């Protein structure tokens, strides 16, 4: 009994109390309490050094890179570092069999050789404002949920447009703590961003998907870009006349390295976490949704890998897609394991029991968990159908591609032929991008695998009407059906399709609309629209409004606890210490790795481990220059910073704000930190900046880039 009591108390503490290293904090609010704790742990700067709108501060050296990563400025000439996997799409787009930058790397030896990247942009944060009051103005408790959402959206649009009037900025008001607070983020975007350098994948993606999400790690996951501006140092579209951007602030680079216990911090753009989920939500994710999604991706990866392993053209075409599919797939697996080990569901239940007692006589709160429970029960079948729509239907490339023709087909019904012309011209461009990285064999095999999985995975009420046709006409033989539609469709035949698009007129819409792939897509779309999405989003919205109240209740119940808002791809600061961990009984992981580990893993027979000869040579000669440490070169280290996807490329900084590494991953055993941070296991994985410099200087011979940086010795 005593033991049980102790267990309950311990688990309550672990859920309701914040560990020193847990949390992702809003830069604007550091002064409230965070900065004092950072300083207590070793931080030597002030809140104003990190975020200040009146003078240059660290935030001015940080950008959103592309759509989902972070990058940082490291020179007064707009030089920028991010991860190799963040620049991967760009590196791939510049690659071909003849110029295989993925395999061999790329280094611009002068600014003239830097490669433009249409579509890539970086975004600076200009300022943050607390706009909670304005956002909630006119919102009353008597309003329906829909009315509330509409009012808030209207308010936010007005706040945003006022904030940016007369500037080239953009603004975005975002909800925090499930709609209990609102902050506005004003941004400035630069669109001329050029590729400066990338190591070979056997360095930048060393270990590939086998090592991904794992420690010990030996991945030199970095790439180098440069921001260009017009002559006035203002954002501008690409032009050969643009000049390197002069940033307000760039980071100095420290060669001092790290020791266990050192204070570190991370500033960047964590994409999304769900720290306050109820036990029912965790159950749904870890016992139902993730397992299905994992199964579907198992199949896709199996097919892609089988082809990529024996065919270099396919390997290059599918490299970026494969990495994307594999990345979440592996994370989901890790999350399930982590949540199990943490006994997350039972911990949450224990906490919820405590909550129920506390809320017993509080009419606003006492029915909350029951309502959650009902919603999570109700949503299950819709959630699954939703996941199958995204993972199975859209996992088939030719269907996903055909879905892009919805608009053209719609427009073709109308009388304005110029609209159809514009849309078909746009699709013509999309088409060349699509087919550049498309292989019929891969897609057909995936198609054959996923289609039957859809019908095995969802309730019958979510079967599209075409199902009965496949049953009757093909005797339920999915393979036969797939063979037939693959033969007949235009959506996997670039010449035919491009011919149609370049001479498009609305009277040919039938060739698209009646295409068997489009018919199949449409049949799924009907189900999604009529039977899945409405219910799914309605119940999700109900849950959101419950979380809005629950979040309030949690803060009321634990007034001493410092709550941080879930990550939502806005700038955050996390801090922690360099620290190894004990992954399993009898095993201790050190806090760092070195080049020696690369050599241990080196294997010419495996693409992801087959390092360049040049690196082998350097290792033999021990030609490490100033980057040597104890006879090797430091490579990665781990620390307790609370990070998530989107933090890739984020600078990892020392107590003085010097750059000591690039965040690029988390370690396997603690990956469940998006839902439950675990101080014993949750570690962010950082590429040591000394390895970055070593590769640029000693491997690539691009010392001029290192010379651009300010190095602190
Ligand atoms: N796991 C890291 C992140 O979430 C790295 C992903 C890229 N690397 C890969 N092998 N797929 O983005
Ligand atoms: N690799 C992740 C990213 O692209 C960061 C790792 C994580 O999820 O923490 O943002």
70 contacts 64 by C-beta, under 8 angstroms:
yes
Residues 223 and 269 in one domain: yes
Residues 654 and 508 in one domain: no
194-to-87, 237, 449 alpha-carbon distances in Å = 10, 12, 40
185-to-71, 126, 171, 570, 651 alpha-carbon distances in Å = 18, 8, 6, 8, 20
Q: Which atom of ligand 2 is nearest to the CA of 646?
A: 10
Question: What's the CA dihedral at 76, 77, 81, 85 to 10 degrees?
Answer: 160
Which ligand does the CA of 323 lie closest to?
A: 1
225-235 average pLDDT score? 98
Q: Which CATH number do you get for residue 263?
A: 2.40.10.120
560-to-16, 449, 554 alpha-carbon distances in Å = 10, 53, 11
169 inside domain = no
- Closest residue by Cα to atom 4, ligand 2, is 648
- Amino acid 329: pLDDT: 97
326 inside domain = yes
171 inside domain = no
Percentage above 90 pLDDT, the chain:
93
64 inside domain = yes
**Cα separation, 337 vs 332, whole angstroms:** 9
**Domain end marker among 535, 555, 575:** 555
**Domain end marker among 536, 555, 574:** 555
**Cα separation, 158 vs 160, whole angstroms:** 5
Three-state SS for 614-645 is: HHHHHHHHCCCHHHCECCECEEEEEECCCCCC
- Closest residue by Cα to atom 6, ligand 2, is 665
134 inside domain = no
Confidence of residue 18 (pLDDT cuts 50, 70, 90): low
Residues 23 and 116 in one domain: yes
- Amino acid 414: pLDDT: 84
Q: Give the count of domains, the chain.
A: 2
Range from 79-88, 298-307, 382-391, 601-610 carrying the lowest mean pLDDT: 601-610
Cβ atoms < 10 Å from Cβ of 423 = 19
Question: b or e along 75-97 (b: 16 or more beta carbons within 10 Å of the residue's beta carbon)?
Answer: bebbbbbbbbbbbbbbbbbbbee
> Which of the residues 84, 85, 591, 642 is marked catalytic?
85
Question: Tokens 């759509």 — which residue?
Answer: 67
Residues 270 and 288 in one domain: no
Q: First-to-last CA distance in the chain? A: 58
H or E segment to which residue 581 belongs: strand 581-584
Task: Determine whether 221 is an active site residue.
Answer: yes
- Amino acid 520: pLDDT: 98
**Cα separation, 496 vs 503, whole angstroms:** 11
CA-derived radius of gyration, the chain: 26
50 contacts 573 by C-beta, under 8 angstroms:
yes
304 contacts 326 by C-beta, under 8 angstroms:
no
Residues 452 and 508 in one domain: yes
The winner for highest mean pLDDT among 142-146, 276-280, 426-430 is 276-280
Task: Determine whether 280 is an active site residue.
Answer: no
155 inside domain = no
**Which residues does a 6 A CB cutoff place in the pocket of ligand 2?**
69, 643-648, 664-666
Residue 13 has pLDDT above 60, yes or no: no
> Which of the residues 60, 192, 209, 221 is marked catalytic?
221
Question: Considering the entire predicted model, what is its pTM?
Answer: 0.92
Ligand 1: does its nearest atom lie under 6 Å from the Cβ of 212? yes
Residues 541 and 682 in one domain: no
Range from 124-128, 138-142, 251-255, 266-270 carrying the lowest mean pLDDT: 138-142
Which ligand does the CA of 322 lie closest to?
A: 1
Which ligand does the CA of 88 lie closest to?
A: 1
- Amino acid 191: pLDDT: 98
Residue 2 has pLDDT above 50, yes or no: no
> Which of the residues 412, 424, 648, 650 is marked catalytic?
648
Residue 646 Ramachandran class (φ > 0 left, ψ -120 to 50 alpha, else beta): left
Residues 587 and 481 in one domain: no
Question: Tokens 């050029």 — which residue?
Answer: 194
Residues 500 and 569 in one domain: no
Residues 523 and 581 in one domain: no
Residues 333 and 385 in one domain: yes
124-to-247, 306, 572, 657 alpha-carbon distances in Å = 10, 41, 13, 18
577 inside domain = yes
Residues 241 and 285 in one domain: no
**Domain end marker among 504, 532, 555:** 555
- Amino acid 7: pLDDT: 45
Mean pLDDT of the chain: 95
Domain containing residue 241: 9-121+191-274+564-712
Confidence of residue 607 (pLDDT cuts 50, 70, 90): confident
Confidence of residue 96 (pLDDT cuts 50, 70, 90): confident
Phi, psi of 73 (to 5 degrees): -85, 135
**Residue in 644, 649, 672 to alter for ligand 2 test, most ligand atoms within 8 A of Cβ:** 644
Residue 16 has pLDDT above 50, yes or no: no
Percentage above 70 pLDDT, the chain:
97
315 inside domain = yes
Task: Determine whether 33 is an active site residue.
Answer: no
Range from 90-104, 114-128, 216-230 carrying the lowest mean pLDDT: 90-104
- Regarding predicted confidence, which is higher, 348 or 15? 348
Residue 175 has pLDDT above 50, yes or no: yes
Residue 590 has pLDDT above 90, yes or no: yes
Residues 288 and 264 in one domain: no
């Amino acid at each position: 009994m005593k033991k049980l009591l102790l267990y309950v108390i311990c688990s309550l503490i672990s859920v309701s109390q914040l560990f020193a290293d847990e949390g992702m904090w809003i830069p604007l609010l550091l002064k409230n309490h965070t900065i004092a704790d950072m300083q207590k742990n070793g931080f030597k700067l002030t809140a104003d050094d990190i975020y200040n709108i009146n003078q240059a501060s660290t935030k001015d050296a940080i950008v959103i890179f592309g759509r989902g990563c972070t990058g940082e400025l490291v020179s007064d000439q707009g030089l920028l570092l991010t991860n190799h996997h963040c620049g991967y799409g760009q590196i791939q787009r510049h690659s071909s069999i003849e110029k295989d930058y993925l395999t061999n790397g790329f280094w611009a030896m002068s600014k003239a050789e830097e490669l433009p990247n249409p579509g890539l942009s970086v975004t600076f944060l200009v300022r943050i404002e607390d706009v909670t009051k304005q956002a909630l103005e006119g919102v009353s408790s008597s309003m329906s949920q829909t009315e509330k959402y509409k009012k808030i959206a209207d308010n936010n649009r007005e706040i945003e447009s006022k904030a940016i009037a007369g500037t080239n900025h953009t603004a975005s008001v975002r909800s925090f703590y499930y709609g209990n607070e609102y902050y506005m983020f004003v941004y400035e975007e630069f669109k001329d961003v050029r590729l400066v350098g990338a190591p070979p994948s056997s360095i930048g993606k060393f270990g590939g998907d086998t090592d991904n999400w794992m420690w010990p790690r030996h991945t030199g996951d970095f790439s180098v870009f440069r921001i260009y501006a017009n002559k006035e140092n203002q954002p501008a579209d690409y032009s050969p006349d643009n000049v390197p951007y002069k940033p307000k602030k760039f980071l100095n680079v420290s060669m001092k390295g790290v020791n266990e216990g050192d204070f570190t911090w991370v500033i960047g753009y964590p994409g999304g976490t769900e720290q306050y989920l109820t036990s029912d939500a965790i159950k749904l994710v870890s016992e139902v949704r993730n397992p299905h999604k994992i199964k579907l991706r198992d199949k896709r990866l199996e097919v892609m890998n089988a082809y990529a392993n024996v065919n270099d053209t396919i390997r290059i075409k599918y490299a970026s897609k494969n990495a994307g599919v594999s990345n979440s797939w592996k994370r989901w697996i890790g999350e399930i394991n982590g949540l199990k080990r943490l006994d997350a569901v039972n911990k949450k239940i224990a906490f919820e029991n405590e909550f129920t007692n506390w809320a017993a006589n509080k009419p606003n709160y006492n029915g909350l968990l029951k309502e959650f429970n009902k919603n999570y029960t109700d949503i299950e079948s819709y959630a699954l159908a939703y996941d199958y729509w995204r993972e199975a239907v859209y996992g088939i490339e030719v269907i996903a591609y055909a879905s892009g023709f919805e608009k053209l087909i719609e427009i073709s019904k109308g009388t304005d032929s110029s609209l159809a012309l514009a849309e078909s011209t746009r699709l013509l461009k999309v088409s060349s991008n699509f087919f550049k990285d498309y292989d019929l064999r891969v897609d057909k095999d995936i198609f054959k695998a996923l289609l039957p999985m859809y019908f095995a995975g969802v309730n019958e009420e979510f079967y599209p009407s075409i199902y009965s046709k496949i049953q009757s006409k093909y005797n339920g033989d999915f393979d036969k059906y797939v063979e037939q539609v693959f033969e007949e469709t235009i959506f996997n035949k670039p010449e035919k399709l491009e011919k149609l698009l370049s001479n498009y007129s609305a009277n040919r819409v039938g060739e698209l609309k009646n295409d068997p792939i489009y018919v199949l897509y449409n049949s799924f779309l009907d189900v999604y629209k009529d039977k899945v999405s409405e219910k799914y989003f309605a119940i999700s919205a109900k849950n959101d409004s419950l979380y809005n109240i629950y979040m309030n209740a949690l803060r009321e119940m634990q007034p001493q606890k410092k709550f941080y808002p879930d990550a939502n791809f806005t700038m955050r600061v996390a801090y922690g210490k360099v620290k190894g961990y004990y992954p399993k009984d009898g095993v201790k992981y050190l806090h760092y790795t070195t080049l020696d580990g690369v050599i241990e893993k080196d294997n010419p027979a495996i693409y992801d481990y087959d390092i360049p000869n040049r690196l082998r040579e350097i290792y033999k000669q021990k030609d490490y220059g100033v980057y040597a440490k104890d006879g090797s070169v430091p490579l990665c280290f781990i620390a307790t910073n609370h990070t998530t996807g989107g933090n890739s490329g984020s600078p990892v900084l020392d107590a003085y704000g010097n750059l000591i590494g690039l965040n690029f991953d988390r370690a396997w055993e603690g990956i469940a930190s998006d839902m439950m941070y675990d101080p014993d296991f949750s570690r962010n994985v950082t590429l040591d900046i000394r390895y970055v410099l070593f590769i640029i200087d000693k491997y690539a011979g691009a010392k001029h880039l290192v010379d651009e940086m300010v190095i602190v010795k």
